[in-house]
A = this chain, B = another copy of it.
Amino acid sequence: MDNNIAPVAPEKAWRLINHGPTALVSARYDGVDNVMAASWVCGLDFKPAKLTVVLDKIARTRQLIEQSGSFVIQIPTVAQVRLTHQLGNTSLFSAPDKLARAGVELFSIDGYDLPFVAGCSAWLACRLIPEPHNQQTHDLFIGEITAAWADTRVFRDGHWHFETADPALRSLHYIAGGQFYATGDSIFLDDVAAD
């Protein structure tokens, strides 16, 4: 595991996705690893920490999550914009070499039988909370965040520090048609008590 990666307390993990970044969703089942891009990832609860993710029925990663009951939400960086876009536009069903083609490197974290994507800025290990109606009717999946990690160059002490880090580590915010925005300037209301 990269020396810059440090654990984030699950009760602070919602801060890793609260700015609405584009995410990568990864999962593993029966020897198969896959990674997809997802814009529709969102906080749901603080304690226990939970999130939602929308997973289309055509996604192989969705099948792996249904089978394994677990997944990783990770936050790709500006340096990974092409990788992210490619992962959102190819399927493991039709492209068995999808991950290699997109240049994805996976790494392991002790105690978690999950595929983590190298080079991201944050990783949230999630346990699927089965909600069959939501999954079938709305393609909506709920995960409990059981553990989280971040790259300390850009997230530490419970806060993002994009403004003092390499701009290549900023998050991505996808629109459509190959257009993304990077996370921008920090605005800090200094008359507000920090927590």
Contact = CB atoms under 8 A, between A and B. Distances in A.
A176 B195 contact: yes
Interface in A3-19: 15, 18-19
B181 A189 contact: no
A178 B158 contact: no
A175 B15 contact: yes
Contacts of A140: 44, 52
Interface residues on A, range: 35 or more
User: A22, A139, A176: which has the most chain B beta carbons within 10 Å?
Assistant: A176
B39 A43 contact: yes
Interface of A: 15, 18-22, 39-45, 50, 52, 54, 78, 81-82, 85, 133-134, 138-140, 142, 158-160, 162, 170, 172-195
Instruction: Pick the 3 closest A-B CB pairs, nearest first.
Output: A20-B20, A184-B184, A178-B192
